[in-house]
Homo-oligomer: A and B are copies of this chain.
């Protein structure tokens, strides 16, 4: 629908043009940044025209029902331009975005954070700011839409994912991984606007890049267009074409950064600093905006509110369709990611069974077995791996691949793209409909770091299956052997890190990860086989307290061995030797999750840690262990990087052995 046709139905506001609507964004962006004395006016002013056409004519949303599942997703990948989004939200009429919020831009407690923060204001679909995250997360959203559409049909699921990306987003490596994945899967409802203003923070982008972005996106399987980003009809035409393409789309919008600021536009000076009072005054003059700061004429606001009215109509029609659908309940369950209760009963039965069998498998193998139960009990899980499927053991019988043209499957070959996998999983989780999990080697958490941090910051249920979790992976050597990665993950707020010691703890940790809906979980799993360590089954999930006494002593404890994952077995052997050969009462504490242990009462923690000297044992860096071992404790683990050799040789070489634990314990006691 073009503006003219649209306005014909609204005779009271026929004088409002899209130029006026765009200038409202410009003015609000200038004013908010100036008031905050901090922020990025250049991008909102440059992309105001594109955003106006996009929202005015195309975007489907209902600000009164911001969680409407079939809304279009809008992702401001160039998150520093947050005032573009906040201005839009105010103008369209999100109830939680009154003008006062714009006036509190970048202030403590405001919804209008420096970069769009998921959960701060309604309608912010994802946290952006670290460049490239938005576009990669959007790929996950578009995947989720496509997968959900396959399951529920286009009467219930049929929306677009729109992205505004900047030069930074396209320079970051993650963009390559994301567009390759999107192009491969042919995610035709993904439409990316590139704010092609040829300016980055240091100056002209020609300082650092000569990339032909159109050719690059074309090579990835995108439909590509280039337009004047200040030509309203060209913008509209390009969006229409993109929407009708059966490929994902890139629209290169040639824009002028800071457009409207007569003396500064086109310069990096508008990128990340207030324009200043005099330039703002000049800009008001230049764009014909005589209104006071934060003042938008009623007619313009009213025109913007038509976006909401149109969306509300569309939502009402959608509600009728969903209500009439036989799949209505299933759809709701999917959207709310409600896992069936029976799943947890089955996991309990699984544990009981394997305690009896004393199953000895690598925890990655245990994870595969658990996943077999999970994926049979629910259709909500979407698995995948960054090209390590048969190492991570993330696929289970009957799972079919997601492939170009076939979205009925539920296993995603993310390719050798850890970062895009993590970001896409964020997008899938944010979109709703699925609980995503994905695998790689723990060492390659490095490559996924940027997106894993956002899983935590946004509190999304994304489950990372990180196998080959120590020198225990053996011959691949130090580049593949994680050392600092547990510390890195444990130091990150809002992540549950699980390092189970055997098949039973693996099942318990998976259960916790599935039940923990408001944060990501990282399952840290061994390549090598590990014996089952429990003496008896308990319905109780012992891992849920984070740490517990696995082997108590009959006499008062002389020493406590604290360990995680594959080192718990070693600690148990050491405890047996200490008791058997030296009559030293050694307890063993398994600590699958530091975060959960930290959340227990001090009394519980004291009862587990107890007063005897403590030795921490983990084939990883020491950092963090002093919290548990105390000043008089000892640590047995890695002092530096690993090496290439068979795993048993490495454990001996680095002294992570029962013998070394025994010797250290005896020294500590004496």
Contact = CB atoms under 8 A, between A and B. Distances in A.
A209 B185 CA distance: 8
13 contacts: A108-B643, A117-B479, A127-B479, A171-B416, A172-B447, A173-B419, A180-B210, A181-B209, A202-B389, A205-B415, A207-B413, A211-B221, A494-B641
Interface stretch (A352-360, A484-492, A657-665): A484-492
B130 A446 contact: yes
B215 A221 contact: no
Nearest to A214: B219
Interface string A173-192: 11111001101100000000
A29 to B, nearest CB: 15
Contact of A404 (B202, B210, B213, B474): B210
A493 interface: yes
A460 to B, nearest CB: 14
B113 A643 contact: yes
Contacts of A200: 387, 415-416
Contact of A180 (B38, B183, B211, B638): B211
A630 interface: yes
A216 interface: yes
B419 A387 contact: no
Given A210-B221, A493-B621, 15 more contacts: A106-B477, A108-B644, A110-B645, A113-B643, A115-B476, A171-B180, A173-B447, A181-B209, A183-B210, A184-B210, A201-B390, A202-B388, A212-B219, A491-B491, A631-B631
Given A39-B475, A420-B173, A626-B626, A491 B480 contact: no
A557 interface: no
Please list the 7 inter-chain residue pairs (A to B) with the smallest Cβ-Cβ separation, ordered nearest first.
A173-B173, A208-B415, A176-B176, A129-B479, A487-B491, A108-B645, A484-B491
A128 B476 CA distance: 11
Interface stretch (A55-63, A368-376, A449-457, A575-583): A449-457
B38 A474 contact: yes
Nearest to A633: B631
Nearest to A628: B626
A115 B644 contact: yes
A168 B416 contact: yes
Number of copies: 2
A114 interface: yes
A388 to B, nearest CB: 6
A74 interface: no
B621 A208 contact: no
Given A171-B415, A387-B201, A491-B623, A646 B449 contact: no
Contacts of A81: none
Contacts of A307: none
B208 A477 contact: no
Given A446-B453, A493-B641, A475 B38 contact: yes
A401 interface: yes
A605 B645 CA distance: 36
Contacts of A184: 208-211
A522 to B, nearest CB: 13
Contacts of A626: 624, 626-627
A226 interface: no
Contacts of A416: 131, 167-168, 171-172, 200, 208
B181 A387 contact: no
Nearest to A598: B622
Interface in A419-434: 419-420
A480 B184 CA distance: 32
A113 B444 contact: no
Contact of A653 (B108, B419, B450, B476): B108
Nearest to A492: B484
A597 interface: no
Contact of A490 (B128, B385, B404, B623): B623
Nearest to A168: B416
A107 B215 CA distance: 46
Contact of A106 (B79, B181, B403, B645): B645
A250 interface: no
A477 B415 contact: no
A68 B479 CA distance: 27
A385 B202 contact: yes
Nearest to A178: B173
A245 interface: no
Contacts of A113: 477-478, 643-644
A466 interface: no
A184 B205 CA distance: 11
Interface string A210-230: 111101101111000000000
A279 interface: no
Contact of A219 (B110, B211, B391, B413): B211
A231 interface: no
